[in-house]
Protein backbone atom coordinates (compact mmCIF):
# COMPACT_ATOMS: atom_id res chain seq x y z
CA UNK A 1 0.00 0.00 0.00
CA UNK A 2 2.82 2.40 0.91
CA UNK A 3 4.60 1.66 -2.38
CA UNK A 4 1.47 2.39 -4.40
CA UNK A 5 0.90 5.66 -2.52
CA UNK A 6 4.48 6.75 -3.16
CA UNK A 7 4.18 5.97 -6.88
CA UNK A 8 0.93 7.98 -6.98
CA UNK A 9 2.75 10.88 -5.33
CA UNK A 10 5.48 10.61 -7.95
CA UNK A 11 2.84 10.70 -10.70
CA UNK A 12 1.38 13.91 -9.26
CA UNK A 13 4.84 15.50 -9.01
CA UNK A 14 5.61 14.44 -12.58
CA UNK A 15 2.34 15.87 -13.90
CA UNK A 16 2.95 19.10 -12.00
CA UNK A 17 6.39 19.45 -13.57
CA UNK A 18 4.88 19.00 -17.04
CA UNK A 19 2.14 21.62 -16.71
CA UNK A 20 3.24 25.28 -17.09
CA UNK A 21 2.30 27.29 -14.01
CA UNK A 22 2.24 24.23 -11.73
CA UNK A 23 5.26 23.44 -9.54
CA UNK A 24 6.46 19.92 -8.82
CA UNK A 25 8.25 21.24 -5.75
CA UNK A 26 4.99 22.72 -4.46
CA UNK A 27 3.26 19.37 -4.98
CA UNK A 28 6.00 17.59 -3.02
CA UNK A 29 5.72 20.07 -0.14
CA UNK A 30 1.93 19.82 -0.16
CA UNK A 31 2.16 16.05 0.23
CA UNK A 32 4.69 16.32 3.05
CA UNK A 33 7.56 14.61 1.24
CA UNK A 34 9.66 17.59 0.11
CA UNK A 35 12.34 17.50 2.81
CA UNK A 36 12.41 13.70 2.56
CA UNK A 37 13.18 13.87 -1.17
CA UNK A 38 15.75 16.66 -0.71
CA UNK A 39 17.46 14.69 2.07
CA UNK A 40 17.53 11.53 -0.05
CA UNK A 41 19.04 13.36 -3.02
CA UNK A 42 21.78 15.06 -0.99
CA UNK A 43 22.64 11.84 0.86
CA UNK A 44 22.41 9.57 -2.19
CA UNK A 45 26.08 8.58 -2.07
CA UNK A 46 26.36 8.50 1.73
CA UNK A 47 23.25 6.38 2.22
CA UNK A 48 22.78 4.91 -1.23
CA UNK A 49 20.43 2.01 -0.42
CA UNK A 50 18.20 4.01 1.91
CA UNK A 51 18.04 6.97 -0.44
CA UNK A 52 17.29 4.81 -3.49
CA UNK A 53 14.48 2.99 -1.67
CA UNK A 54 12.98 6.40 -0.89
CA UNK A 55 13.44 7.95 -4.34
CA UNK A 56 12.69 4.98 -6.60
CA UNK A 57 8.86 4.90 -6.16
CA UNK A 58 8.67 8.67 -6.76
CA UNK A 59 10.93 8.33 -9.81
CA UNK A 60 8.75 5.52 -11.23
CA UNK A 61 5.65 7.67 -10.77
CA UNK A 62 7.31 10.66 -12.45
CA UNK A 63 8.35 8.57 -15.46
CA UNK A 64 4.80 7.23 -15.77
CA UNK A 65 3.50 10.80 -15.69
CA UNK A 66 5.99 12.17 -18.20
CA UNK A 67 5.63 9.31 -20.70
CA UNK A 68 1.94 8.50 -20.39
CA UNK A 69 -0.17 10.84 -18.28
CA UNK A 70 1.10 13.98 -20.01
CA UNK A 71 -0.78 12.91 -23.16
CA UNK A 72 -4.00 13.04 -21.13
CA UNK A 73 -3.33 16.10 -18.96
CA UNK A 74 -2.36 18.40 -21.82
CA UNK A 75 -5.70 17.95 -23.68
CA UNK A 76 -7.55 18.33 -20.36
CA UNK A 77 -5.94 21.73 -19.83
CA UNK A 78 -6.84 22.72 -23.39
CA UNK A 79 -10.50 21.57 -23.26
CA UNK A 80 -11.29 22.04 -19.56
CA UNK A 81 -8.80 24.63 -18.26
CA UNK A 82 -10.78 25.88 -15.26
CA UNK A 83 -11.77 22.43 -14.04
CA UNK A 84 -8.28 20.98 -14.49
CA UNK A 85 -6.61 24.04 -12.94
CA UNK A 86 -8.94 23.76 -9.94
CA UNK A 87 -7.86 20.14 -9.48
CA UNK A 88 -4.24 21.26 -9.13
CA UNK A 89 -5.17 24.14 -6.84
CA UNK A 90 -6.95 21.61 -4.62
CA UNK A 91 -3.89 19.35 -4.69
CA UNK A 92 -1.70 22.25 -3.56
CA UNK A 93 -3.99 23.67 -0.86
CA UNK A 94 -4.82 20.20 0.50
CA UNK A 95 -1.28 19.95 1.81
CA UNK A 96 -1.11 23.45 3.26
CA UNK A 97 -1.88 22.32 6.85
CA UNK A 98 1.23 20.13 6.78
CA UNK A 99 3.38 23.10 5.74
CA UNK A 100 1.86 25.38 8.38
CA UNK A 101 2.88 22.86 11.05
CA UNK A 102 6.49 23.51 10.07
CA UNK A 103 6.29 27.10 11.35
CA UNK A 104 3.52 26.85 13.94
CA UNK A 105 4.65 28.05 17.36
CA UNK A 106 8.15 28.92 16.12
CA UNK A 107 7.49 32.63 15.68
CA UNK A 108 8.83 34.84 12.97
CA UNK A 109 10.40 38.24 12.43
CA UNK A 110 10.38 40.98 9.84
CA UNK A 111 12.77 39.04 7.60
CA UNK A 112 10.44 36.05 7.47
CA UNK A 113 7.51 38.23 6.44
CA UNK A 114 9.63 40.06 3.87
CA UNK A 115 10.69 36.72 2.38
CA UNK A 116 7.05 35.58 2.28
CA UNK A 117 5.84 38.64 0.36
CA UNK A 118 8.94 38.78 -1.87
CA UNK A 119 8.57 35.20 -3.11
CA UNK A 120 4.78 35.60 -3.38
CA UNK A 121 5.34 38.57 -5.70
CA UNK A 122 8.11 36.70 -7.56
CA UNK A 123 5.75 33.89 -8.62
CA UNK A 124 3.09 36.32 -9.82
CA UNK A 125 5.75 38.29 -11.69
CA UNK A 126 7.12 35.15 -13.38
CA UNK A 127 3.59 34.19 -14.39
CA UNK A 128 3.00 37.61 -15.96
CA UNK A 129 6.28 37.33 -17.88
CA UNK A 130 5.42 33.76 -18.90
CA UNK A 131 2.12 34.86 -20.39
CA UNK A 132 3.94 36.79 -23.09
CA UNK A 133 4.10 34.99 -26.41
CA UNK A 134 7.35 33.11 -26.83
CA UNK A 135 8.49 31.68 -30.12
CA UNK A 136 9.21 27.96 -30.04
CA UNK A 137 12.82 27.16 -30.80
CA UNK A 138 13.63 24.74 -33.60
CA UNK A 139 16.32 22.48 -32.13
CA UNK A 140 19.14 21.63 -34.53
CA UNK A 141 21.75 19.26 -33.11
CA UNK A 142 25.17 20.88 -32.87
CA UNK A 143 27.87 21.29 -30.22
CA UNK A 144 26.54 24.73 -29.28
CA UNK A 145 22.95 23.45 -29.10
CA UNK A 146 23.98 20.46 -26.96
CA UNK A 147 25.71 22.80 -24.49
CA UNK A 148 22.69 25.10 -24.48
CA UNK A 149 20.36 22.14 -23.83
CA UNK A 150 22.54 21.08 -20.89
CA UNK A 151 22.37 24.52 -19.24
CA UNK A 152 18.64 24.78 -19.96
CA UNK A 153 18.26 21.42 -18.20
CA UNK A 154 20.12 22.79 -15.18
CA UNK A 155 17.87 25.86 -15.12
CA UNK A 156 14.69 23.83 -15.57
CA UNK A 157 15.58 21.31 -12.85
CA UNK A 158 16.47 24.04 -10.36
CA UNK A 159 13.12 25.72 -10.88
CA UNK A 160 11.31 22.36 -10.75
CA UNK A 161 12.80 21.61 -7.34
CA UNK A 162 12.05 25.02 -5.81
CA UNK A 163 8.46 25.04 -4.47
CA UNK A 164 6.16 27.44 -6.28
CA UNK A 165 8.41 27.93 -9.30
CA UNK A 166 7.26 26.14 -12.46
CA UNK A 167 10.13 24.72 -14.49
CA UNK A 168 7.74 24.21 -17.41
CA UNK A 169 6.79 27.89 -17.27
CA UNK A 170 10.48 28.84 -17.47
CA UNK A 171 10.90 26.56 -20.50
CA UNK A 172 7.78 28.08 -22.06
CA UNK A 173 9.12 31.59 -21.48
CA UNK A 174 12.41 30.86 -23.26
CA UNK A 175 10.68 28.92 -26.07
CA UNK A 176 11.90 25.39 -25.27
CA UNK A 177 8.76 23.91 -23.66
CA UNK A 178 6.97 22.66 -26.78
CA UNK A 179 10.14 21.44 -28.55
CA UNK A 180 11.18 19.38 -25.50
CA UNK A 181 7.67 17.97 -24.97
CA UNK A 182 7.37 17.13 -28.68
CA UNK A 183 10.78 15.42 -28.59
CA UNK A 184 9.69 13.26 -25.62
CA UNK A 185 6.54 12.24 -27.50
CA UNK A 186 8.52 11.51 -30.68
CA UNK A 187 11.00 9.42 -28.71
CA UNK A 188 8.29 7.26 -27.11
CA UNK A 189 6.45 6.92 -30.43
CA UNK A 190 9.65 5.81 -32.19
CA UNK A 191 10.10 2.90 -29.77
CA UNK A 192 7.18 0.86 -31.12
CA UNK A 193 8.27 0.58 -34.80
CA UNK A 194 11.87 1.12 -33.60
CA UNK A 195 12.56 4.08 -35.86
CA UNK A 196 16.32 4.23 -35.29
CA UNK A 197 16.86 7.62 -36.96
CA UNK A 198 14.09 9.34 -35.01
CA UNK A 199 15.15 7.59 -31.81
CA UNK A 200 18.80 8.65 -32.08
CA UNK A 201 17.85 12.23 -32.95
CA UNK A 202 15.48 12.43 -29.97
CA UNK A 203 18.06 10.93 -27.61
CA UNK A 204 20.65 13.40 -28.90
CA UNK A 205 18.34 16.21 -27.74
CA UNK A 206 17.05 14.66 -24.52
CA UNK A 207 20.37 13.28 -23.19
CA UNK A 208 22.17 16.63 -22.58
CA UNK A 209 18.90 18.12 -21.32
CA UNK A 210 18.48 15.17 -18.94
CA UNK A 211 22.07 15.40 -17.70
CA UNK A 212 21.51 19.08 -16.97
CA UNK A 213 18.40 18.19 -14.97
CA UNK A 214 20.32 15.66 -12.86
CA UNK A 215 23.16 18.12 -12.13
CA UNK A 216 20.68 20.90 -11.36
CA UNK A 217 18.68 18.75 -8.96
CA UNK A 218 21.78 17.83 -6.94
CA UNK A 219 22.99 21.45 -6.85
CA UNK A 220 19.71 23.01 -5.75
CA UNK A 221 19.00 20.15 -3.31
CA UNK A 222 22.27 20.90 -1.52
CA UNK A 223 21.35 24.58 -1.30
CA UNK A 224 17.83 23.83 -0.01
CA UNK A 225 19.21 21.41 2.59
CA UNK A 226 21.67 24.04 3.79
CA UNK A 227 18.92 26.66 4.09
CA UNK A 228 16.60 24.28 5.95
CA UNK A 229 19.33 23.30 8.39
CA UNK A 230 20.50 26.88 9.10
CA UNK A 231 17.41 29.03 8.52
CA UNK A 232 14.49 26.59 8.79
CA UNK A 233 11.68 28.99 9.78
CA UNK A 234 12.73 31.74 7.34
CA UNK A 235 13.05 29.17 4.54
CA UNK A 236 9.57 27.83 5.19
CA UNK A 237 8.13 31.36 5.18
CA UNK A 238 9.72 31.85 1.78
CA UNK A 239 8.26 28.50 0.66
CA UNK A 240 4.84 29.54 2.00
CA UNK A 241 5.06 32.69 -0.12
CA UNK A 242 5.82 30.58 -3.18
CA UNK A 243 3.02 28.12 -2.46
CA UNK A 244 0.24 30.58 -1.61
CA UNK A 245 0.95 32.42 -4.87
CA UNK A 246 0.74 29.19 -6.89
CA UNK A 247 -3.09 28.96 -7.05
CA UNK A 248 -3.21 32.52 -8.40
CA UNK A 249 -0.50 31.69 -10.93
CA UNK A 250 -2.36 28.56 -12.04
CA UNK A 251 -5.63 30.42 -12.63
CA UNK A 252 -3.68 33.09 -14.52
CA UNK A 253 -2.10 30.46 -16.77
CA UNK A 254 -5.13 28.30 -17.64
CA UNK A 255 -6.51 30.81 -20.13
CA UNK A 256 -10.21 30.53 -19.35
CA UNK A 257 -12.30 32.14 -22.09
CA UNK A 258 -15.85 31.33 -20.92
CA UNK A 259 -17.23 30.72 -17.44
CA UNK A 260 -20.69 29.30 -16.75
CA UNK A 261 -22.53 27.66 -13.88
CA UNK A 262 -21.63 24.15 -15.01
CA UNK A 263 -17.91 24.84 -15.35
CA UNK A 264 -17.82 26.53 -11.93
CA UNK A 265 -19.75 23.63 -10.32
CA UNK A 266 -17.44 21.03 -11.85
CA UNK A 267 -14.42 23.12 -10.83
CA UNK A 268 -15.61 23.10 -7.21
CA UNK A 269 -15.88 19.31 -7.40
CA UNK A 270 -12.41 18.90 -8.96
CA UNK A 271 -10.97 21.27 -6.35
CA UNK A 272 -12.51 19.13 -3.61
CA UNK A 273 -11.17 15.94 -5.20
CA UNK A 274 -7.67 17.43 -5.44
CA UNK A 275 -7.83 18.69 -1.85
CA UNK A 276 -8.87 15.28 -0.51
CA UNK A 277 -6.24 13.42 -2.57
CA UNK A 278 -3.46 15.72 -1.35
CA UNK A 279 -4.66 15.59 2.24
CA UNK A 280 -4.86 11.78 2.10
CA UNK A 281 -1.48 11.27 0.41
CA UNK A 282 0.28 13.70 2.73
CA UNK A 283 -1.51 12.80 5.93
CA UNK A 284 0.81 10.01 7.00
CA UNK A 285 4.00 11.89 6.24
CA UNK A 286 3.96 14.04 9.38
CA UNK A 287 5.23 10.97 11.19
CA UNK A 288 7.70 10.02 8.50
CA UNK A 289 11.38 10.02 9.26
CA UNK A 290 13.32 12.64 7.34
CA UNK A 291 16.75 11.81 5.99
CA UNK A 292 18.32 15.20 6.73
CA UNK A 293 21.29 13.84 8.63
CA UNK A 294 23.89 16.06 6.95
Most confident of 17-26, 97-106, 181-190, 246-255: 181-190
pLDDT in the model for residue 293:
38
Q: How many residues does the chain have?
A: 294
Q: How far is it, in rounded angstroms, from Cα 78 to Cα 199?
A: 28
Structural contact between residues 166 and 20, judged by C-beta atoms closer than 8 angstroms: yes
pLDDT at 290: 38
Smallest Cα–Cα separation from 35: which of 43, 251, 182?
43
- Residue 231 CA, chain-centre distance (Å), reads 23
Burial of 227 (0-12, 13-18, 19+ CB in 10 A): middle
Q: What is the pLDDT of residue 267?
A: 93
In this prediction, what percent of the chain has a pLDDT beyond 90?
A: 8
**Integer CA distances (angstroms), 71 to 102, 177, 221, in order:** 36, 15, 29
pLDDT tier, 146 (very low <50, low <70, confident <90, very high otherwise): confident
Q: Using a CB cutoff of 8 Å and minimum separation of 24, what contacts does 129-133 make?
A: 129/173, 130/20, 130/21, 130/166, 130/169, 130/170, 130/172, 130/173, 130/253, 131/252, 131/253, 132/173
pLDDT of residue 286: 41
Mean pLDDT of 76-81: 80
Share of the chain above pLDDT 70, in %: 81
On the CB side of 102, CA atoms within 13 Å amount to 24
pLDDT in tens, 24-62: 877 787 777 888 888 888 888 888 889 999 999 999 998
Give the angle 252-254-259 at the CA atoms, nearest 5°. Answer: 95
pLDDT of residue 113: 87
Highest mean pLDDT, choosing among 66-80, 164-178, 203-217:
203-217
pLDDT averaged over the chain?
78
The pLDDT of 12-29, averaged and rounded, is 76
CB 245 within 8 A of CB 162: no
pLDDT at residue 214 is higher than 70: yes
According to DSSP, residue 107 is labeled -
Mean pLDDT value of segment 194-206: 84
Q: What is the pLDDT of residues 226-260, one digit of tens each?
A: 887 888 788 888 878 877 887 887 787 666 667 88
- For the residues 283-290, what does the mean pLDDT come to? 42
Cβ-Cβ contacts under 8 Å for 6 (sequence gap 6 or more): 57, 58, 61
**More reliable by pLDDT, 155 or 208:** 208
For 29, residues 6+ apart whose C-beta sits below 8 A from its C-beta are 95, 98, 99, 163, 239, 243
Cα 3 from Cα 216, distance rounded (Å): 27
- Model confidence band, residue 294 (pLDDT cutoffs 50, 70, 90): very low
Amino acid sequence: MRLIKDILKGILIGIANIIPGVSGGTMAVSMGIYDQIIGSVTNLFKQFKKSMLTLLPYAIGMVIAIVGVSRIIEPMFEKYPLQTGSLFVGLILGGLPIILKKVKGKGTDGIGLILFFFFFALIIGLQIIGQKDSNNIEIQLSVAEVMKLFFIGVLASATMVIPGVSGSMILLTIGYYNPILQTINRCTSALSPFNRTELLNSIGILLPFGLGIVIGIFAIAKLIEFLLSRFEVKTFYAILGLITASPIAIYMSVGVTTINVTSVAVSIVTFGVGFIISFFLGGDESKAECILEG
